[in-house]
Chain A
Amino acid sequence: MEIDPFIFRLSIFILSIFIGYYVVWSVTPSLHTPLMSVTNAISSVIIVGAIIAGLAGNSESIFNISSIFGFLAIFLAAINIFGGFLVTQRMLAMYKKKKKDK
């Protein structure tokens, strides 16, 4: 009997939860705010689904209801991707070590 591909996806999912668990525990507490903004940015990879939805319309009707929702989702996810990564970068650039001149 063949294994349903769903099982493989589920395996990826469960293993990723464990990876996430260990990786996040190793994040230093002083970087918890950048952690939130960067997880925010990467969860916007949902834009992949939005692009598929947006391009689903055929050439005669680019704007059917389904693709309009796709376009809106692209718009929202794009705000998050650019905003999330850039604000994270801005924050991380501020973390400086003590100057060793003493």
Chain B
Amino acid sequence: MTQTHRIPGKGLLIDRARPVRFTFDGVEVQGFHGDTLASALLANGQRMIARSFKYHRPRGVMTAGSEDPSALVEVLEGSQQTPNVRATTQEIHEGLTARSQNRIGSLRHDLLAVNDWLAPFFSAGFYYKTFMWPRAFWERLYEPAIRRAAGLGSLSGHHDVAVYEKAWAHCDLLVIGAGPAGLMAALTAARAGAEVILADEDVRMGGRLLSDQPAVGGLSGPDWAARTVAELAAMPNVRLMTRTTVTGAYDDGTFGALERVGLHVPAPGDLPRECFWRIVARRAILAAGALERPIAHPDNDRPGVMLASGLVSHVAKWGVNPGRVVIFSNNDSGLATARHLTAQGIEIAAYVDPRAIPVTEDFPVYAQATVTGTRGRHGLRDVAVTHAGGTSMIPARTLALAGGWNPTLHLTCHMNGRPVWEESLAAFVPKPGMVPGLSVAGAARGRFSTAACLADGVEVAGEVLRDLSLRPKKTPVPEAEDAPYAIAPLWAVDAGGRAWLDFANDVTTKDVRLAAQEGYASVEHMKRYTTQGMAPDQGKSSNVAALAVLAEATGQGIPATGTTTYRPPFVPVSIGALGAGGRAEGFAPQRLLTSDAKSRAMGAPMIEAGLWYRPSYFPRAGENDWRTACDREVAQVREAVGTCDVSTLGKIDVQGRDAARFLDFVYTNTMSTLKPGRVRYGLMLREDGFVMDDGTCARLAEDHFLVTTTTAAAGLVMRHMDFVHQAFCADWDVRLISVTEAWAQFALAGPKSRAVLASLGIRADLPFMGCTHIDLGGVRARLFRISFSGEEGYEIAVPTRYGASLFEALLSAVHAEGGCAYGMEALNVLRIEKGFITHAEIHGRVTADDVGLGRMVSAKKDCIGKAAAHRPGLTEPGREQLVGLMPVNQGETLSAGAHLYNERDLATRENNQGYVTSVAPSPTLGCWLGLGFVKDGRSRMGQVIRLDDGLRGHKVLVEICDPVFFDPEGGRMRG
């Protein structure tokens, strides 16, 4: 193909010196730099681009913008394959591959075109009515078969590895659309000093000025637009965003916008494909213009049938030669288009208008006439025009439909506002205030002439500037055409055969009338019954006509019928753009320990604990599974010594004369009686009486405490303590701050931990549950004697920058004592052997008493959660209590998450006796151990109960026992 359908010298956007090659359905096509896929294909005479959704009818290009209902294609390959791309917005580039969609076989010979012959059976509701019986067939047979045949493009199945971006922008005024109204609004506001963002969907700003090319202020439309854009571009308070579609209006002046950043670039590299903007604007002006609508007449969907505005754009912007043109219009803008095209040497074979208009033009005019049919299998060949004298077949290559204009008011409806019907325009127009802070200017509020748009831009900007407390400078409105707009609504021509309303979803006037007839008379029901407006174009070209046909069928009138709701996004937004940056490392922050590099170097697999990464175990040579390493680490801790990075625990510094009083209020137990230099285990409840978290509380000085939280609940506890402080005792002399990140903290556990301390030069004369400041080679550090393993245990905290170094030192020291580093697996085994709880047990539905810590709720003082903890439901017998579980047959394994039943009971909800929260293989006791909750468990010690894991199909008999399996007296821990 060789661009046979180009008009010499025309085409504002194309650079004829830069040919671009791409492929369509495997065939190499040449266009010019600046072409869209649609314009390049049209310039090469290719009118058929797609097959329709339901009937697989040949379809072409209808518009020159994002609203196109028909020209959807699939582009690129591999991980970048993108379905349902509008050929009218995809710019061509070297190497672009595009394919037609929704066909079996070739585009010309689509086997599913048989659906078109079967069309009489495929009326609205066809699927609901036909595939009812037998019932079971729906899921297994009908739906899969229908789904295979339906749909448009396909996904590659690969991860999309391309770069996408999200970004924020802030301004005083966001102007949406850079046509005559938007340009004047932006100019007026920018000259007054407002910080302005002007966003426009197209590649070049100017809107209809570029297509219709009216004279503005003595210049051609495109020249005036270019000059105005240049002035705006030179202003530091203006940001111009082209290829950017504002997709949604949200609360408080926040707008979503999709920028096509690199979709037109052959090898984007680091360049994002798209950027999703969140634009925060104090005020906004919607100047998005208006969208033309077709007229439903028989066979109005052939390739070659376009909207008049789309045709004009393709001629003006890309120099596409449409051949002989028939224009079918019900309004003055269609007539203006006919004159405009004639003046440019395009042959208007017929101008058809149902109105009684004078027949004094330079082209054949059929007044009081309608188009009643078309012919041409793969593209338009003849147009049937029915007039007073009968029906004439007029040969034509292009049929331009001009059914009137719908203001592009979609964004004004995004916060539930409803537009109003304007009879004189036969269109809906926005009401003021539908979205707070958003004004509407120009054609978007029904001011259709160029002069009216220019003036409205100045006027609306002036109103907005007053809101922004800025003074508008005098901005003269340039002169331009001010033709009145007269329209005689004609929605559908009834002449037998199918007349399309919604080209994207193949909805015809018959379908809408059938919906009304079958009782789906509300516009929302009609939409869902027929699927009108539910395609990727969201019915931009069909909604108003469809509801007009519905209104006719029900006799209700259009204002009473109303519109369906327009919701964001205005154009389809790729998930890639919405989720930009959220893949892999960008998914969530990675919190790395100071020991991280060393642990990984030692071969430790890392597991996630909240946002932290912690070593699972430290395999030695020959240890091929976690279990071997874990057993060895547990044994080494019990027999010698181990070290473990515990920096992930939350640390909150609490200071002030009322610090103790405050802690008494947030903890169930009493911290005010704790002596400086001592540590106490503490329990916190939520206000509803359930356990929130546990941890230790160290009194570093009279007015200075250090609270530790579990890793999982660190943020939650900080927020909770902030709440209690700010809501209930903001006047107390207490201050809280997180110091989690300031300290690297390592546990030492085992009978030889004191020897390790000694080798580091630390005197370990600390009593159990004591704490002290120490000097570690000149570094001020802290030493705590606490244990989560049941062994004699210490924790050493140093400023974080020394963490890596201390870990190395501890490793050498523990190795010298026959010990090792231990990971999360061993840590878990050690604590289960001792019956210490974690958030597996304090999971949000247990009370202090449930976990055996009821005595920790002090009777002498109020605390958060105390009143609610004494509610009848939380104190009655029959609650599930924490117990230990051991298999009756030593060799059997236990599984967490399993439920517990009396030995002979069926595994039903009614029979449930409890559940298992944690399990571990204990090398110390030589069997699996479990922690769990059993109804009245503390009074059932020694009973045998059945562990039943329905998911894993695992059943074991277990004995209920004390949760402290090992060293119940705690002699080892106290030393």
The yes or no verdict on A and B being binding partners is no
